[in-house]
Amino acid sequence: MEKLVRQSQPLTFRFADDGLVPNHPRWPMIVYRGAVTLPDNLDPASVFEGLFKANGWGSSWRNGIYAYVHYHSRIHEVLGIARGTAEVRFGGDKGEVLTVEAGDVAILPAGTGHQRLSSSADLLVVVAYPPFGTYDLCTTAEQHDAALRTIPKIGLPEQDPVYGSEGPLLKKWQP
């Protein structure tokens, strides 16, 4: 797996609470552009699944990115773009629109809003989670206040899902 990982300068994004999406109060979303090489002779989703699992991020699944604004208040999430491209709004309605493509990775701290605005027909995303926390799906204003209390309690992952114990995530997300 290590030979398929390329060093990528982390891009960081901080988003304000917009009243619906709280975003994380301290930790930025991190994006690694082209962090993973996806050879034609390998299943790209398996590459991401193996990489994330090797770095302690499991419970992975394959799909896309929901086309509605949502966030997770009780768990962090990593998105590995295995195939295709997508235009995604991160951070809620007042966030930032990014185009992600095969080989990119986005690490979302709990509370970070995300929504697929458009995508290629072949979009395939591998999603994984650190070994602690509970998956939830928040989409309404009624969930906002409870999320504000829960999000800061979600701990720091032990490893970066791409670069392991030496990854930039551990420097960017400080307790």
Domains of the chain: 2-169 (2.60.120.10)
Residue 1 confidence class, pLDDT cut points 50, 70, 90: low
This model's pTM is above 0.85: yes
The 10s digit of each residue's pLDDT in 14-54 is 999 999 999 999 999 999 999 999 999 999 999 999 999 99
The pLDDT value given to residue 174? 87
Q: Identify each DSSP E strand in the chain by its residue range.
A: 11-13, 29-32, 58-63, 77-83, 85-90, 96-101, 105-108, 114-119, 124-129
